[in-house]
Structure 1
Amino acid sequence: MPASAPAPTTQVLIVGSGPTGLTLACELARRSIDVRIIDKSPDFPRSSRAKGPNPRSLEVLEDLGVVGRVLAAGSRPPLMRKYRNRLPIADADPFEASAPTPDAPYDRPWMIAQWRLEEILRDRLAGYGVRVELGAEVVGLTAGPESVTVALTDGRSIGARYVVGCDGAHSPVRKLLGVAFEGATAEEQSMVCGDVEVDGLDRGYWHQWFDEDGAVLLCPIPGTGTGWWFQAGPERDGTGACVPPSLESFQRLFAKHTGLPGTHLSRAALLSTYRVNERLADRYRVGRVLLAGDAAHVYSVAGGLGMNTGIQDAYNLGWKLARVVTGRADPGLLDTYEEERLPVASWTLGITSERLRVTLDAILRPGGGLDSAVTGETMGLSLGYRWSPLSPTGSTTRLRAGDRAPDAPCLDAGTGAPTRLFEAFTGPHFTLLGFGPGTAEALRATEAAYGDEVRAYAVGSGPTGADGDGPARLTDEAGHARTAYGIEPGADTLVLVRPDNHVGLIASATDHRAVGAYLDRLDHLDHVSATAFRRP
């Protein structure tokens, strides 16, 4: 490799510009962190791959300010139409009983092609003055005491204080770190995939043909006139090996399982053979280099949790990395990224494996289909970090420190305009909610001590939730906020919400020093145990 010029410097270098890398880049850029994001591809991919964000990822995208565009560009999941012996036998809507609730505004995943989601996130990132640098393939990492130098195939190098590998299941960053990626690939559980053009099918349905020797699945891709996701059990040659995917093989599979002319399919692209692959990195951080998304974990497709887990990795890591880079927190805070997210990845591996088994069993029975892969657990709303060193003891009748912070409709006490707790949370800050008039002093003291770092809100049942010269006031007229947070009548309770919208602290209003003590310990972690972090 030719000698490289002096490496340019940046605070954070992100390798990989899929949804995980783009989410992390947006998280850092909106906090005014100097970030660069590179990708080895020469062009932006048009892959539709992942079918869209689940409800928890939609909450992340709302915080990033792009959920409106995502909803407009995508669609609700269509009805699943199931066929046996080439005839329709049942229509299923796994979300038929779902509806938004005051504490959870998104009740189902949203279908959108991955390339379109990436386009929306790139536009958001460009608004911060950051653009993806294409054609930059990583071949080397050299760690120093204060930075990491990344070598590229073209001889260039980039120096950064921190590097995050968001570069997929075959991650060069992970391999260069020597991080183990344990698991297995089930060669016998495979399917061929691609994007196709289809004539003559009703786009109001996700069509699923099943029979004893295979299946064909066709799901309409939102935002396209005739584009569909194609999945099928592969053709096998005389030796039992999978026949490579092609338009011709797709047409043969389509004709075989549907009884319709294979010529209904045309313009197959993004062809691939998918094999069930379940692997988990044994570490998420090696010094100044971290891993996120598929670089850290891969799952079966059941439940659609691969991309979603990556987006949520980035949401967890972004605020912590920004806090360390700016010198506000010690590097030990970055250890909590692995401590929180690796157990979630391990749980996700288990649930996707179990959902795959259930689904494979279901499709052998008439009426069974992909709806078997959908459960409340795949929505992402129940996941939290109760075990985390950032979750000191504290609870209400419904919540504990580490849980996802619920939404709730409220009124702005000053104007009477409708608002939501999620609107209060939006942005790169902690949010302190004070339930009850007894929290007013703690709210004022926190605002005075921390300014914009912590935004304080008095949540009351009427227009006088706090004194006129105090913090912002929210009227919980219908009691949805108190219900969601489990605040008992008459209780004066403080709830500190982290920048990633998880509960950091629950404390009595009489504990005036709780918030300051929490933030001080958060910023001075040094590989401490969870027990050492917890308040007595």
Structure 2
Amino acid sequence: MPAVDAETAVLIVGGGPVGLTARALLARWGVRTLLVEKRTGLSPFPRSRLVNVRSMEIYRGLGLAARIADRAFAPEYGRIRFRDTLYDRDFATAAMIGVNEPVPESPVIGVLTSQDRLEPTLLAAADAPVRFGVELVDLVEEAEGAVAVLADHGSGERTRVRARYVLAADGAHSTLRPLLGIATTGPGELGRFTTVVFDADLGRWSAGQPAGVYFTAHGSFGPVHPEGGWLWFGLTPDDAAHTDWPGLVSRALGPRAGVRPEVLRVQHWVMNAFVAERFRQGHVVLAGDAVHALPITGGLGMNTGVADVHNLCWKLAGVLRGWAGPGLLDTYGTERLPVAHRTLDQTVAATRLMVQVQTRRNEQLRSGAAAEDPVELPWSERYFAQLGLVLGVAYRSGAVLADGPAPPEASGSSEGGTDYVPTAEPGHRMPHFWLAPGRSTLDACGEWFTLLTPDPARWEHLPTAPWPLRVEALPRAHTEPCGLGPQGALLVRPDGHVAARWPAAPPSEATLRQALAAVTGSPTS
């Protein structure tokens, strides 16, 4: 057994939004963590720019949604626009449903914000140690955990930290994934891109028609922060080291713009598309881009990672606190791996459709059509809804007690990721209903299981120790949509997904206890 310098319950590797969200979630459970990040600080780049409606629900549960929204763009920026150049009129446009305006299926609205604005909010959400400039360079598995070798890039010092579990959220170029020998499937590298952050007065072409992204024939543009700043991204030039970036952005804007931008930052990056073959190995669990790198179309990459750790952290807490068996962690991969594959398929398809828009535009211009003629989009306005994909996910695993035989797919979403049909069937996200003014059924979930029932008195006396449980009254107006009778109940997991449903009264005193034991993989005694 190697000597160690420190111990922690969970070592989080990676200080991006996914790792920081995991740290905040585990702090709410009282789980001791240490987060290490090889960068010297938080990201100074905009990078991920969309916090979708499901992620905002998760951040609402952490008490962060209002702070994130306060620093984000107004809802009218939840739109993409296609133009020949930034100063031309739209030849096509599409709304980001759930971002451009509220939807009745959720108590929150998604927001457009930059990662450099999101990360400080997430960092401040927990009082747990973070070490920047520290990289995991080796890992030794033990019977009851793992020992990580950490290298401090500033001091050159190496330390050993023993953890019960290691959570790898260290990105598409993960150190841990290849170290564990975990292979990936999918297209792989799709292209090399560059993002240029710059200052310029472009308001006269954008103020009247705001958008999160303007796609043009010469790269894409987007506002960085509500108070100012712009970014351009496109394919990395062959001679990137000697590229005149102000000149490149100026040419992309076009000669009519007459703008010489002030370049602030330049970042090169690779667009990857893959899913890891497994999400866990021994005492190491992986999340975010470390297990599924997604094309940026639709802004699903970071959000899928946030949903990963929301699924994972209550399970880690249960195992560490003793009310769940270690087998519960197996359900993390069982539930999230199919979602990752479905999301990758969706984003690859969406990327191809975006290319089709520009192809159709080029064909239109070659045919002699007027420049102001619109282009018929290769999708309906509902395509970018994604509500089925982000709200309609259905888990099938040992952590769900199904009403009956499982459907053919193990895990999935309604209508191929577009339309969302609320349902309280086990495995699905609990539908949003208002319990009281400003209080949603989703607000009843937290660091506990929730029993929603129109008849609390019949259920609240049932013994449930050692599992954390709260019984919550469900207004009778919502019982029929949930498939419940006047004495029925829904058992909702801490991540807001329905674990079990009883349409009628509990059949025995042991009903609830047996269900909690089955869902958490722990003995009833």
Superposition TM-score tier, normalisation by shorter sequence: 0.7 to 0.9
Deviations 1:436-457 (A, max 9, x none): x4x6312x224x5348811101
Partner of 1:34: 32
- Closer, same or farther in 2 for the Cα pair 1:262/1:306, shift >3 Å? farther
Aligned counterpart, 1:248: 244
CA deviation after TM superposition for structure 1 residue 144, in Å = 1.0
Indicate the residue corresponding to 1:453 in structure 2: 468
Match in the other structure for 1:192: 194
Cα distance in 1 between the residues matched to 2:329 and 2:482: 28
User: Structure 1 residues 262, 336: closer, same or farther in 2, change over 3 A?
Assistant: farther
Aligned-pair distance for 1:385? 3.2
Paired position in structure 1 for 2:142: 144
Matched, 1:401 2:426: yes
Question: 2:196 touches 2:263 (CA, 8 Å); kept in 1?
Answer: no
Aligned to 2:120: 119
Change (3 A) 1:256 1:141: closer
The structure-2 alpha-carbon separation of the partners of 1:486 and 1:95, relative to structure 1 and needing over 3 Å to count, comes to farther
The CA RMSD over aligned residues, in Å, is 3.0
Q: Distance in 2 between matches of 1:245 and 1:385?
A: 47
8 Å contact from structure 2 (residues 76, 101) kept in 1: no
Tell whether 2:369 aligns with 1:354. no
In structure 1, runs of 5+ residues without a counterpart are 236-241, 412-416, 462-478, 527-536
The runs of 5 or more residues in structure 2 that have no matched partner are: 152-156, 362-373, 405-420
Q: CA deviation at 1:245?
A: 7.2
Query: Displacement of 1:17 after TM fit?
Result: 0.9
CA shift at 1:201, angstroms? 3.0
Shift in CA distance, 37/96, structure 1 to aligned 2, threshold 3 Å: closer
Amino acid at match of 1:351: Q
Once the two structures are superposed, what CA deviation does each residue of 1:285-324 show, in whole Å capped at 9, x if it has no partner?
1111111111111011111111001111110000000111
Q: How does 1:209-358 map to 2 (within 5 A)?
A: 210-211=216-217, 215-223=218-226, 225-235=227-237, 242-244=238-240, 248-249=244-245, 251-256=247-252, 258-261=254-257, 263-275=259-271, 277-358=272-353
Query: Which residue among 131, 134, 141 is the counterpart of 2:129?
Result: 131
Calculate the TM-score normalised by the size of structure 1. Answer: 0.82
What's the offset of the Cα at 1:378? 5.9
Amino acid paired to 1:167: D
Which of 440, 444, 448 is the equivalent residue of 1:424? Answer: 444
Q: SS state of the match for residue 24, structure 2?
A: helix
Residue equivalent to 2:457: 440
> Percent of aligned positions with the same letter in both sequences?
28
Q: Which amino acid aligns with 2:233?
A: Q
Equivalent residue number for residue 170 of structure 1: 173
**SS class of match (2:15):** coil
Q: 1:274 to 1:198 in 2, by over 3 A?
A: farther
Partner SS, residue 441 of structure 1: helix
Residue 262 to residue 217, structure 1, CA distance change in 2 (3 Å)? farther
CA offsets, 1:404-439, max 9 Å, x none?
11121133xxxxx653222222x201110113x4x6
Distance 1:257 1:40 in 2: 36
User: What residue number does 1:19 align with?
Assistant: 17
Q: Does residue 181 of structure 2 align to residue 201 of structure 1?
A: no
Residue of structure 2 equivalent to 1:410: 435
Whole-angstrom CA distance in 1 between matches of 2:97 and 2:322: 49
Aligned residue identity for 2:423: R
> C-alpha separation between the residues in 2 aligned to 1:397 and 1:502?
12
Q: Distance in 1 between matches of 2:97 and 2:493?
A: 33
Q: Deviations over 1:11-53 (max 9, x none)?
A: 1110111111111111111111111111111222212100121
Encode CA deviations 1:492-520: one digit per residue, 9 max, x unaligned.
Answer: 32101100001111113243433211111
Q: Are residue 509 (structure 1) and residue 505 (structure 2) matched?
A: yes
What is the total number of aligned residue pairs between the two structures?
478
Cα distance in 2, alignment partners of residues 50 and 378 from structure 1:
19
Contact 2:424 2:431 in 1 (8 A): no
Return structure 1 stretches of 4+ with deviation > 4 angstroms: 95-99, 367-374
TM-score (norm 2): 0.83
1:152 Cα offset (Å): 1.7
CA deviation after TM superposition for structure 1 residue 381, in Å: 3.6
Contact map agreement 2:42 2:119 (CA 8 A) in 1: no
